Structures are given as C-alpha cells and as structure tokens.
Structure 1
Amino acid sequence: MALKDLDAEIVRIRDHRSRTYYTEALRAYRSGAYRAAISSAWVALVFDILLKYRELSAAGDAEATTFIGGWDKAIAANDVAKLLEHERSLLEHAKTKMGLMNLQEHRLLQRLYEDRHLCAHPAFAVEDKLFEPTDELVRTHIVSIVDIVLSQRPVQGRKIFEAFSTDVQSPGFPSDEGKAIQFVEDKYLSGMRSEVLKNFGIILAKSLIKNVPAEWDNHRIRIVDALNALRLRRSESWQEILTAVAKLINDDDPELRPRALAMLADFPELLPRVEEAPLAALQEVASSDAQLVDYPEAFAAVELEPFKEALLTRFADLSRTEAAEVLNVVAAKMFWPNALERFGNSGSYRNAEANFDRFIRPFTEGMTEEMLDQVLEATRENGQIWDAGGVPDRLFELLKAKQPICPSAGSVDEFFLSLSSRLRTRFDDVWEHLRSLGWEEPEQLPDED
C-alpha cells in the first residue's frame, strides 16, 4: 500500500480522537521511526476499542459496561498492574465477548500487540539485538487497525438484536423478499463480525423453531428473509449456522416438530443433516399428528420427498375450513389438484364464490397458463359456478392480476362457446380483458336460448 493510501485511510476512521492517534502513527512511519509507529498504532487501537466500549455501555450493553467499569476503577486507583491485566485481555475480550473481530483479525492484532512489546520494551528482544520492523510490517499493522476496528461501527452484541427486533416488528420492514434481503445486508450484516453473524443466524433460526422471542412469531416471513440474507450474502457463516440449526432439529422436541418441518421446507439444505430418528419422528408428524393443523406453515414440507405423500394425504383429508387456512399460508402447487377439485365440486352459488376465494385465489402469484385453463374448465363444467353472481368479477380480477399470462385461446373459446348469450354478457369484463391480450372471439354457435 502506498503512502497516499495510508493518508486516505484517515477518512474511514469514525472518531476524530482516534484519527489523532492514527495520525501520530502515520507521522512516525513517514519519518522512518518504525518502532514508534507500531507503538502509536497500538495506542490508537486500544483507545478506539475503549471508545466503542463506552458507546456500547451508554446504549445499555452490560458486557461493555462491566469491562469499562473495571478499567475506570483501575485508573481511579492508579492500579497499574490491573490496567496492564486489562490491556492484555482486551483483544480476547473484544473477540469473544463483544464480537468486534473474528479469529483471523484477532491474530493480526495480536501480532501488533506482540510487536509493540518488542518496540516499547527492548529487554524483550533476543541477544540484546534491537527489534527492527520492516516497512511492510508497519504498513500492515497500520492498515489492519483501520480495517478491523477504527473504521467499524460499535453495533455488536445485544444491541444489534434489540435493533433488529424493533425493525422486524415495524411496518417499515420491506415486504418484498429482494428488498428485505438488501435491507438486512445494508443495516446489519455489513457491520457484523463472523462470530456475531453466526449468533445472529442462530437466534433467527431459534425464533422459527422454538418461537423465542414470542413477539417475532407473527413476522415469520421476515425472519426467513433475514436468514436468506445470511445464506446468500455470507456463505461461510451460513455453513456454521446450518450445523447449529441441524442440532436444534436433531434434539427433537416433540412440541416443536411442526416448526421443524416448516424450517426444513424453507431451507431444504438442512435435510441431509437431519439424523435418522428425528427424521422418522417428523415423518410421523406429517402423517398423523393432530397439532400439524395448528401450524399450517409445516405443510410447506410437501415439497420435500420424505414428507410429500404424507402431507398430500393430510391435506386431502382436511375440512374445507382447515384446507383454506393452510392455503392462506402455504399455496404449494402440489396442493393445486385437490384445491381445484374442491372448487369444481361447489354445490351452490355462494359456495362457488367462497370456494373461489378459498381454493383458487391463494395460487394467484404462481398460477400458470395451464392452471388458468383448468379454472375455466372447472367453471364451465359446473352451473353452480358459472351462474354464481360473484364469479365473473372474481375471474376478471384473477386474470388482471396474472397479465400478461392468460389462459390459452382454445380454453377461452371453449368457455365462451359453452355459455348462452345471456350468460356471456355477465363475463363482458373478462372478454374485454382477454381481447386486450390478443384473444379473438370465435364464431358463435346459434343461440339455443
């Protein structure tokens, strides 16, 4: 790194007081006083860590408060031995207790600590030979203190989880998955060390599996999005998180099995890590456990081969009300044939309208041309559906929501021709919409009314 790059590092340092100490190290380096530069770099590092501790303590971090309290007490008592003890333990405490650095970063800064001893205490040198640090070593130390500590925000430990808890319960949390992932990346992941990233992921996973804290339970999708941010943006930490989450599932708490099923559905890469006995227990839950209906998110595991057949059978056996509750949460395409059948078997006008809302509308987002064809087919084959007053409007709204995807021309033609002239007029909004998408009205058969 060139000298001008070291100058540019100053603007990255958050606190103006830390910049002063950094500047002293930089001046010593420029003048060739390498031992003085290393000693000054260490002072800048310690000073900045203590500033961060004080900031975290002021925000209510108990661990930072305890450490700063001990430090200030030693200063007040002029207890040099105690201060030296605190200085020796500072890097380890910052890594282990506060998450301000990862293991590799700790090693780099520990080397600075050791070199500082050689520079400040000549007696530490071997055979009365003065320690002569190289230009490259000094520059590495100066850059490291900025990259690892001086440029970083002191948002670690408990405070980051408190901030996330507030965000995840706020109406301002992005509802779009991509925007939510970017939000979590920008506000949280970008400022986290690896240890904190791992803890963050484990806490999020625990909230999904153990419902702790309970106030996050109504924001499950947001928690999943936050975990996906870790999965997509921090792949190395994600592997450690998967190991910890797999252990939670393998501990196999019977009351938490439906939640574990939902977790596997959201993150199927966990499945190979589930041990044989817990997997068998989860399959039994999918097959027969009554509490499964109380946690409809578990039905998303229908996409996983070990649970597919059991959950398809369970869904088919649900009452209309129970099935609608599941689809309101999990509109898995594997449930579509059964949902379509329930709609097609509507036995009255009002039942047809209700069944459209229960069993067709939930699939809107992922609905394909083929599925739209099937909706038209089910509608034209049941007079309780095509003659229900609320069906035309519902069908129109569905088609508008899916444009430019639309049913095939052949399917629309069959539906159009199956209706009498009187009934066709009730679907005028549907025909007009389809015309705007390129459909051409077929030649009509003689009206039999």
Structure 2
Amino acid sequence: MRNIEEQVHRVWNPEVRPLVGEAWRCYNSGTTRACIVATWAAVAADLIEKIVRLADDGEGDARAFRTKVEDAQSAGLTVASVKTMQEVERDLLDHAVQLELIDTITQRELARLREDRHLCAHPSLRSLGEAYDPQPEVARAHLAVALDALLTQPPSQGRRVVEEFKQHLCDPLFSPSPTHLTATFLHRTRRVARRKIVDLAVKHAIRELPPDPGTPVDPIMLADRMAQCLRAFAEADRDLVRDMLTKSLDSLATLPGAQVLRATARLGDLDVFWEQLNHPLADRLDELVNGLAPSGHEALPETHADVLALVRVDPARQRLTHIEHAFERLVSSNRAAVMARKPHRYFVRHVPRLLAEAGGWRQAEHLTRLAVVPYGPLLDAELLGQTLTNWATNTQCRTAGEMLQLAVDLHRATAHLGAAGEAEWRSFLEHVRTLEDAESYYRYTELEAAMA
C-alpha cells in the first residue's frame, strides 16, 4: 500500500498529479468505480500532454495529433469539439505505441483500464441492466500499472532516448557527471529503454565497437566514456549493470590480450565485474597481468598502469593472484605512475619508499609531484615522519630545486594531521639544517615561512 502512496507523489506531470491523488483517495474510501474513472482520466491527460510535448520538440509523427487537440480545445465546448476529443481518446493508446511512449504490453494493460472505465461510467452497458461493480483489487491494479508504466515516467521514447544517449556519448563536449548521466538516461527512461542503454554501454566498454559513421570519436575513447556511464549507473542500479555484464563478459574470451586489458582497466572498479568474471577468464587475465611489469626502467604503458592500479581493489587482488607481486616489482617511477592513477589508501604505505629510491634531482621532483603530494591527505603522522626522514636523508631529494616548493605543497596537504603533523615538519626542518650549512640554498626557508 505504501508503494502506491509514494508513487502518487512521483507523478511526472504536476497537472496530472491531482487526478492521481483523487483516484487514490477514491480507492481508500471504497468508491471503486470512481477510482477507475479517475485513473483513466489521469492516463488520458498524461498521454495527451506527452504527445503534444513531443510535437513541440520536433517529433513529426506527433504534429497531426497536436493540431487535432489544439483545434478541439480552441473551439470550446461544442458538439464537434467533444466528438473530436472522443476520437482522440479512442486512438490515444495507438498513438502512444507508435511514438514509443508505451510498449504493446502496457498498451494492452491500459486498454483493460479503458474498458473498465467505460463500464464504470456507463453501467447500462451491462446486458442485464445491473450496475458494474468491480472489486477493489481491480481498481488498485489499474492504478499501480498506470503509475509504474506511465504516470511516473517523463515523455521519453524508446529508440529516441537510446539515440540521444549515443549522441551524448559522441559529443565533443561529453559530460561525465554521474548525476547528469543517471538523471537523464536512467531515472527518466522506462525499464525497457533503460536496459537497452546499459546493455549498449556494456557492449562498447568491453568490445570497443565502432561508433556510428561520421561520429567524431574513436572506438577506444567511446568505450572509455561508456565505462564512465556504467560506473554511474551501477551506483543507481547495481543489479541492472550486473545482469547486463553477465550477457557480455564471455566475449572477453575471444578478444586480443591488449583489448582484454583495456576492458579490465575500464571496468575493474566495479565489484559486479569481478563477481561475473568466470574462472577461465580470471586465469587468462591473471597471466596477462603477470607479464605487465617491465624488467628494466622503461616507462610503463598507460593501459598497463591502469590495470596494475586495480591492485587497490579488494576483489581484483582476490581473483588475480599475481597483481600484487607485479606491482611490487615495478621500479619507483613506474610504481609512482600506478599510484597516481587513483590515489587510494592501499598505496599510501608506498609513499616513503618513493623518496628513499629517488636516484636523481629530476626524478625526486617527478616522484614527489606525481605520487607524494597527492597522497598528503591520506598520510598519517607516522607515514609522514617516514616520508620526511627519507626526504631529508636522500641528497637527491633534499637538494633538488623544485623540492623547496613541493615541501610547502605537502605541508598544506597534511594540514589535517594538526599538531602531530606539525611536530613531524619541525623535526624535518631541524634535520635538514643539521645537514645543510648556514649559507646553503637548501635550508627550506619557504617551508619555515609557511609553518609560521
């Protein structure tokens, strides 16, 4: 019972909402026939408004309908205008199906409502002259169907909303805002269209399907955008994303290794991805991950860094037994590149080690800028102390020109530590000044000023 009450307040059209509220009050008061009549009135008003709105938005098939309705409304309460509106109501569900506002199943359910409305409004239709006396359950079922399938939904069409989704994903000004994506393409669409959109996003994210001809976006960029959508959709409807992943994950078995790694990097943040990954695919992926760490100091490709960054994800470590070892094998520059993909508490314990291993001035600056300062908000006092000790004792860190300003930046980033953090910074400053003479450029006077 509570579910219908909530849906009444979620009716899309504020002008239709009072009609729906009236139908619900009629049901609660036991006036079943009035409930059915009011429910159909709400359905008719809602569909007319939605079709007219589609015509205003440029939908060609809705323009003739809008003209017919507007002509009848402008004529006033005449016999001709009443007859016209009766014709509109008679063909209303057919128009709604043609414009994809409802599907044929919903059409059949609303047609039953319309027939019951006729019996309630015209009791003389019964053969023996008895008044039609519907059961309360019938009225409640009609109202529930109308709310779920139509009245709480905006005027979004099936194929049209899918096309709008594809156009948005291919727009050079694509907006990855999760709130925008879920509000526009998930919450404002019907169940069938919603499933099509999520299924389309999954297929592109895994298989890197080509976009429509003439679209100014390459398949890999489109796949990355689709994955961003899936992460947003999973926050709103995790079960739907899981179901759609189940249908498409098997295609990973036949894709080239590089494509498998890219798909994993895109979707590895989703716990449902790891839930649906079967054992053979997990074993293949584990073998691919084991070979990602280069043996020397060559730069780690971006896709490989994205995959190894999934070591921060608990299900990834459980399913991929080699991923932690592969990350540990990386040289400091590549380890920092992985950590920088997405700052996470899993990586924070590696911060002090980066400064201990820095082998040159420029490398020290690069590592600090890339994966030390960004981790400042995640450091605790103990890790900060270890980091600063390594900073001071490693000459390549202490005497690199840019490190003077980076120390100020890290000091700001660790402000959350309060007095404990300030104690570590004072200790660092004292340590540095025991190692640098009074005339040295590297006495960190900028940091002293920031601390003061």
Measured against the shorter chain, the TM-score band is 0.5 to 0.7
Match of 1:49 among 23, 30, 47: 47
Q: Contact conserved, 2:264 with 2:307, CA < 8 A, in 1?
A: yes
Q: Contact conserved, 2:355 with 2:390, CA < 8 A, in 1?
A: yes
Q: Contact conserved, 2:37 with 2:117, CA < 8 A, in 1?
A: yes
- The offset of 1:203, in angstroms, is 3.6
For 2:22 and 2:208, the matched residues in 1 are separated by: 51
Instruction: From the superposition, tell whether residues 366 and 129 of structure 1 become closer, same or farther in structure 2 (CA, over 3 Å).
Output: same
Match for residue 286 of structure 1?
Answer: 289
- The offset of 1:394, in angstroms, is 0.6
- Secondary structure, aligned partner of 1:251: helix
- 1:195 paired with 2:192, answer yes
For 2:381 and 2:101, the matched residues in 1 are separated by: 51
- The offset of 1:398, in angstroms, is 1.5
For 1:205-244, list aligned pairs within 5 A. Answer: 205-211=202-208, 214=217, 226-234=229-237, 238-244=238-244
- The offset of 1:365, in angstroms, is 4.8
Instruction: From the superposition, tell whether residues 318 and 425 of structure 1 become closer, same or farther in structure 2 (CA, over 3 Å).
Output: closer
Match for residue 13 of structure 2?
Answer: 14
For 1:120 and 1:397, the matched residues in 2 are separated by: 75
For 1:86 and 1:147, the matched residues in 2 are separated by: 22
- The offset of 1:400, in angstroms, is 0.7
- Secondary structure, aligned partner of 2:156: coil
* Structure 1 segments unaligned to the other structure (5+ residues): 76-81, 175-179, 437-449
TM-score by length of 2: 0.66
For 1:267-282, list aligned pairs within 5 A. Answer: 267-282=270-285
Q: What do the CA deviations read for 1:77-132 (whole angstroms, capped 9, x no partner)? A: xxxxx9999767678x48xx9475898x8897465245246457879868775422
Q: Percent identity?
A: 21
Match for residue 442 of structure 1?
Answer: none
In the alignment of these two chains, the number of paired residues is 403
Match for residue 132 of structure 2?
Answer: 131
For 1:147-166, list aligned pairs within 5 A. Answer: 149-150=150-151, 152-160=153-161, 162=164, 166=168
Q: Contact conserved, 1:12 with 1:146, CA < 8 A, in 2?
A: yes
- The offset of 1:36, in angstroms, is 8.1
- The offset of 1:251, in angstroms, is 2.0
Q: Contact conserved, 2:293 with 2:326, CA < 8 A, in 1?
A: no
- 1:416 paired with 2:430, answer yes
Q: Contact conserved, 2:365 with 2:397, CA < 8 A, in 1?
A: yes
Instruction: From the superposition, tell whether residues 300 and 355 of structure 1 become closer, same or farther in structure 2 (CA, over 3 Å).
Output: closer
- The offset of 1:244, in angstroms, is 1.3
For 1:251 and 1:380, the matched residues in 2 are separated by: 52
Match for residue 307 of structure 1?
Answer: 320
For 1:106-117, list aligned pairs within 5 A. Answer: 109=110, 111-116=112-117
RMSD: 5.4
* Structure 2 segments unaligned to the other structure (5+ residues): 70-86, 212-216, 295-299
For 1:327 and 1:11, the matched residues in 2 are separated by: 44
Instruction: From the superposition, tell whether residues 107 and 328 of structure 1 become closer, same or farther in structure 2 (CA, over 3 Å).
Output: farther
Q: Contact conserved, 1:25 with 1:38, CA < 8 A, in 2?
A: yes
- 1:429 paired with 2:441, answer no
- 1:344 paired with 2:343, answer no
Q: Contact conserved, 1:297 with 1:330, CA < 8 A, in 2?
A: no
- The offset of 1:209, in angstroms, is 3.0
For 1:247 and 1:290, the matched residues in 2 are separated by: 32
Q: Contact conserved, 1:350 with 1:388, CA < 8 A, in 2?
A: yes
Q: Contact conserved, 2:233 with 2:241, CA < 8 A, in 1?
A: no
- The offset of 1:300, in angstroms, is 2.8
- The offset of 1:217, in angstroms, is 6.1
For 1:371 and 1:10, the matched residues in 2 are separated by: 52
Which amino acid is the alignment partner of residue 190 of structure 2? R
For 1:374 and 1:165, the matched residues in 2 are separated by: 50
